Structure formats: structure tokens, C-alpha cells
Structure 1
């Protein structure tokens, strides 16, 4: 019989460091294309050379950090082309996941969708007008859960993993929209209610249309 290994202290340190670096990449404290030097990062975040290198490998696998040809690391770029590419892939993957989830819908999944949108409505209210980074991160985490809930009914772990990675890669752009006051929360709430209703009514075409509008709006890429 095959057993997994117990999490080590090293694994815990790497997880903590990765969370801190993700946060600072998301808020731009670590700038796009910025070189990430192990020693400087250790002084700023702690950890050993080994744990920091492992952390950067984790973030590279998530698409937030890039390993350079000189065996170093840098923060991934954040150009309009990067955003459009992430958006393209998110829409393709999440459309597939939502379609399959609706085709195989269970009462449990529909209940999870309703709960996710309820939590999202509360988080949206809290974050409006707040300048607190903690509120912004909590809001973004609720957004992530909502997004993944819509595709979890697909019962495809690989699709879920890819959807999660792409959502994380879009975080910088979404938080920039939030901080710049570019999110219309009233329209967002109405769209979420309509999306939830379409899912429960099993109107796949409408649900996919509303989902695409939601993703595009959150990233400032509404079609004109």
C-alpha cells in the first residue's frame, strides 16, 4: 500500500513564504519583471536558502515567477498581452468546467454555488470603500472560491488545478481594478444573481454568457 509523507517543517516554511510572496506580487510590492535574489528575499521574508529556492520553484510552477536562463528568478511580467492571454485561457477552461458541471449537476453542487454567491455578496459589501490590504485579500479569496465552485462539478482535478493557477495569475490585474475603483459592484451583484438563477434553471447558454461577462468585467476587459 502506498502512503503519502507527513508534512515536514520545511514544507510549512515554504507554504508560509509562498503565501507572503504571492501577496506581495499581487499588490505590486514585488514588481513585474523584478529579479528575485535569494539573499535579499531571505532578509525580507526569512527562511533558509533552500526553503526560499523551493518557494520560488513553487511560484514558478504556479506561473507567478519565472526561472531565467541564468538559473535565477524574476517576477512574471504583467503586460496587456499577458492579461489577454490569461483571460483567453481562463475563459476556455472555466467555460468547459461550468458546462460539464451543469451537465452533471447535483443538488450538492447547486447548493455549493448558492452558498458561494451568498458569501461573495457579503465580501463585496465589506471591501467597497476599504483601503485595507487584508480586506482586499479576503475579498479576492472569496472570488477564488466562487470561481472554482462553478467548475468543481466537472469532477476533473486537473481542470480544477489549472483553473486555480490561472485565477491566481490574474490576481494582480483584478486587485488593480479594485484599488483603482474600476469595479461596478451594483452591476456585478446583478450579474451574479442572474448567473446563479441561470445555473439553477439549467440554462447553460445564458450561464456561460453571464460567466464570461463577469470574468471580463473583473479584469477590465469588457467587450465594447
Structure 2
């Protein structure tokens, strides 16, 4: 499934550069590399197993994605975070995801519906673990939260839209990983309702719920007080 891009094990036929890119990107999105941390290629090569020139190319690519900032001759840093940036990402996610969701509901077939059900089932199991007190599942929850939302829009058949949404979603998810907390039954209930509305092909209600869902997630992260102004 698409959310496996978060995984950091080598894939068949993958180059050293490809693996280093995925691992470094995942470490930023997952919050292992903190905002504003310096990223020096000569120091990163030991951790990511790629040459200095390859790592410079990877860092430039991540800068284009908004996950890294280039500082001219001073090198690179992990992108900063701010409350304004999170609000902007939430608005952009809503714009892209509601557009994709409407198209997906209109064009999705039975196989797509089955994928939505399967993705939600996996997510619901992890949410049950979290509500039972297993806080170690938060990182898995973020990955499978992506898996579910991606499944709901996977039938939109707009590749550029999907790629842009994936990039924005990851930058939005980074804030949740830095807070590393779970919102509880409320978010699980919204996921169940979204699944049902998608399967019922009620695009208006599904998109309205999605807007509330994203905004609630943003408000929750902001309320922790961990995101600087």
C-alpha cells in the first residue's frame, strides 16, 4: 500500500540513493530529526550510507518539498515549524483532499470500496490499542491514518493531485509526530463516519466531515502549546 513509503527497509532494485532519500525523509516526517537540526552531508553519510554528493542531491530534493531549508554556503537544516505553517498546511490539505475525495467517490468501483474498508479496519485496530493505553502505537497510527485517507481518495485518477496531496499530508503529519499524541475516541469516531459516508457515496457530507476532521487535528496540535509562533 502507498503508506509503505514510510518504511525504511531496502526494496528490490532500489539504489543506495533511493533508500537514503526515503530514510532521511522518513526521519524528518517522523520527527526523529527535529526542526532546525543541521544536516551536514559529511556527517549524514555514516547514518544513511550514501556519498556526500548523493546526500546533497537528496537534501536539495527535500528542500523543494518543504521539509528542508537550504542556507546557501552554510548547508541545510530541517525545516522550521510554526503555528502559521500548520494552519496553512491544514487549509491546503483540505483544499486538495476534498477535491480528490469528490472525484474518488464519483469514480470509485467495488475494488476501491473494499480497499477503503480494509484500510479503515487496520486503522481501527491501532486506534483501539491506543485507547487501551498502548502509547507505543502512535507512530503506527500516523502511518495508517495516511493509509486510510489515501484509500478514500485513491480512485480520483489525478496523479498530479495525488502527489501534491501526499507531500502536503506528510508535512501536516510531521506536526502530529512532533507532538506524538493521539486525540482519542473523537478521531476514531470521525474515521468510522467518514468510511460510512464514502461507502454511501455522500460526497457533500463526507467532505464536510473531512473539513471538521482536519481542523480538529490542527486545533489539537496547537492546543498542546508545543508549536512556536
**TM-score, normalized by length of structure 1?**
0.82
For 2:219 and 2:185, the matched residues in 1 are separated by 16
Give the 5 Å matches for 1:119-198. 119-128=122-131, 129-132=133-136, 135-177=137-179, 179=180, 181=181, 183-198=182-197
Indicate the residue corresponding to 1:220 in structure 2.
219
CA RMSD of aligned residues (A): 2.5
Match of 1:37 among 31, 36, 40: 40
* Runs of 4+ that moved beyond 6 A: none
Q: How many residues align?
A: 210
Unaligned runs of 5+ in 2: 1-10, 222-229
Unaligned runs of 5+ in 1: 1-6
Structure-2 change in CA distance of 1:29 and 1:142 (3 Å): closer
For 1:54 and 1:126, the matched residues in 2 are separated by 40
Shift of 1:221: 5.4
Indicate the residue corresponding to 2:225 in structure 1.
none
For 1:131 and 1:46, the matched residues in 2 are separated by 31
Q: Which has the higher contact order (CA 8 A, sep 6+)?
A: 2
Which secondary structure does the structure 2 equivalent of 1:202 belong to? coil
Is contact 2:87–2:218 with CA below 8 Å preserved after alignment?
no
Greater mean alpha carbon deviation, residues 150-159 or residues 44-53: 44-53
Shift of 1:28: 3.7
**TM-score, normalized by length of structure 2?**
0.80
Is contact 2:68–2:78 with CA below 8 Å preserved after alignment?
yes
For 1:176 and 1:127, the matched residues in 2 are separated by 17
Structure-2 change in CA distance of 1:18 and 1:125 (3 Å): farther
Structure-2 change in CA distance of 1:131 and 1:58 (3 Å): farther
